[in-house]
Amino acid sequence: MKHWHHIVPKHAGGSDESSNLVHLTVEEHAEAHRKLYEQYGRWQDKIAWQTLSGQISIQEAREEMMKYNNPMRKPEVLEKMSGDNHWSKRDKNKEKKLFGEINSMKKPEVIAKMSGDNHWSKRPGKIHNAITNHPKGSSKKIEVYGITYPSIIEASKNLNMCVRKIKKIGIIKE
């Protein structure tokens, strides 16, 4: 029995033109793919060689092809994800890195800036005014628990509540 063998395999960009085809026995065909695999290391040639030489069945060849066609199952990806390289196995006591850099939110100077009175939620109205002021700059009055305040910020300060809650429970007056 003879097989048509692509001199440059289709998986390597070869064509079906007669100049790229050669008639080989099954044994010669298996040997051709073994040589291609050893020379170029392509998994497709390995599977063809093993199948043609009877080392694996057609079903096993299909399973191998499915494994290689799944990017998460490729040997190079599996190698990166296995052993000590897997994220769950990394040393958790070393400084944690985020995208190759030390997580800047964990630096002592950043933590100091974000704590106590420096935290944005503790600063007097500057951030909140920018959000809550009317576009023309005039503040809207708001009624909370029957008392009218000149602005949402004033209500927030007097009632010791966040602006979001004041907006939720208050009635804005025009």
pTM of this structure: 0.41
H or E stretch including 129?
helix 126-132
Rounded-to-integer distance, Cα 95 and Cα 103, Å: 9
**What is the band of 36 on the pLDDT scale with cuts at 50, 70, 90?**
very high
Can you list the alpha helix ranges (DSSP code H) found in 70-125? 75-81, 108-114
The domain segmentation of the chain, as residue ranges, is 2-81, 91-123, 132-173
pLDDT value for 46: 93
CA 13 from centre of chain: 31
**What is the band of 21 on the pLDDT scale with cuts at 50, 70, 90?**
very high
Rounded-to-integer distance, Cα 58 and Cα 47, Å: 10
Residues paired with 85 in a beta bridge: none
